[in-house]
Chain A
Amino acid sequence: MKFAVIVFPGSNCDLDMYHAIKDELGEEAEYVWHDTQDLSGYDGILLPGGFSYGDYLRAGAIARFSGVMDEVRKAAEAGKPVLGICNGFQILTEAGLLPGMLMRNKDLKFTCRTVSLKVENAHTLFTNEYKEGEEIRIPVAHGEGNYYCDDATYQHLKDNNQIVFTYAEDFNGSRNNIAGIINDRGNVLGMMPHPERAVSDLIGGTDGLPLFRSIVKQWRESHVSHA
């Protein structure tokens, strides 16, 4: 399976993402510059964390108009897995590919530590290698991860099982502790925590690996009939 790691000016988790896919997962990954006009050769799209365009105006507000974003939208419409982590999540909400918005953490602090997450939905293409309700340890590193949406949007997310991860304990003010959500169709996931930083015991844990394995497993299963 071949992944595109989109690189915006100011991305800084692109190397970690690349390493997770290439070295820990053993799949193909390529860095793709943000003005690329063609993503048709990739099976999965990864939007890494960082501070695209310095978070000017709002986090993700400028990156969402990058040339590559039309292609990301097309990939999402084609049903390809699209994963946005941290700043990638912020870009996906700004682009309208996911509902809601990430606001400044309630305590105004940039929080950088490993936290416990609950897997709320293990029936997605991103989480089938986890158990439902499982608690996993994944690092967070953000100042603007306070997920906000209106009541109607929250109800919709809840009714459709689109809340994929929640924080075991509130620290940033996110609505109902939301840490990650998927779109209606289930192929676009945005999350603030960094699974790509939890792929080796050497760096403190491997709880992020099942997420990437899930994507590959689902892809293999859906492509085996065409082989």
Chain B
Amino acid sequence: MKKVKVYVTLRESVLDPQGSAVMGSLHKMGYDEVQDVRIGKYLELIIGDSERDVDALVDELCNRMLANTVIEDYRYEIEEVVSQ
């Protein structure tokens, strides 16, 4: 069994109005060091043992559903889960 942590973020070229609003607020609070805020999504998947290559599988899931690659990029980390 594997745990897959998927991070979906807006592409660099795409304006992130939520991130801009949060950054504006942080600046008002006095945190002038903050130069950019981008908001994304974090998903955790538990993948059962399978003959399929897990990277190929996760890429497929991301491309078909979890991310919309017109505006989003994704990356992921895979961890082994030791069953109890």
Alpha-carbon separation in the docked complex, A106 to B70 (Å): 17
Query: Of B15-23, B27-35, B52-60, B74-82, which stretch is located at the interface?
Result: B15-23
Alpha-carbon separation in the docked complex, A108 to B23 (Å): 14
Using an 8 Å CB-CB cutoff, how does the interface string of A93-126 with B read, 1 for contact, 0 for none?
1100000110111111000000000000000000
By DSSP majority rule, is chain B's interface helix, strand, loop, or mixed? Answer: mixed
Q: Out of B17, B21, B66, B70, which one reaches A173, CB within 8 Å?
A: B17
Residues in B neighbouring A171, C-beta threshold 8 A:
none
Count contacts on B: residues with CB < 8 A to the other chain.
11
Residues in A neighbouring B70, C-beta threshold 8 A:
93, 100-101, 148-150
Would you give the shortest CB distance from B44 to chain A, in whole angstroms?
14
Using an 8 Å CB-CB cutoff, how does the interface string of A51-69 with B read, 1 for contact, 0 for none?
0000001100110010000
Residues in A neighbouring B41, C-beta threshold 8 A:
57
Among A174-226, those with CB < 8 Å from B are none
Query: A108–B65 contact, CB under 8 A?
Result: no
Query: A101–B71 contact, CB under 8 A?
Result: yes
CB closest residue in chain B, given A100: B70
CB closest residue in chain B, given A94: B68
Using an 8 Å CB-CB cutoff, how does the interface string of B6-22 with A read, 1 for contact, 0 for none?
00000000110110010
Query: A103–B66 contact, CB under 8 A?
Result: no
Query: A101–B68 contact, CB under 8 A?
Result: yes
CB closest residue in chain B, given A61: B65
Would you give the shortest CB distance from B26 to chain A, in whole angstroms?
16
CB closest residue in chain B, given A108: B17
Beyond A107-B17, A173-B17, 14 additional contacts (C-beta under 8 Å) are A57-B41, A65-B65, A93-B70, A94-B68, A101-B70, A103-B14, A106-B15, A108-B21, A148-B14, A148-B70, A148-B71, A149-B70, A150-B70, A173-B15
Binding site for B on A (CB under 8 A): 57-58, 61-62, 65, 93-94, 100-101, 103-108, 148-150, 173
For this complex, 23 residue pairs linking A to B, each with C-beta atoms less than 8 Å apart, are: A57-B41, A57-B65, A57-B66, A58-B68, A61-B65, A62-B65, A93-B70, A94-B68, A100-B70, A101-B68, A101-B70, A101-B71, A103-B14, A103-B71, A105-B17, A106-B17, A107-B17, A108-B17, A108-B21, A149-B70, A150-B70, A173-B15, A173-B17
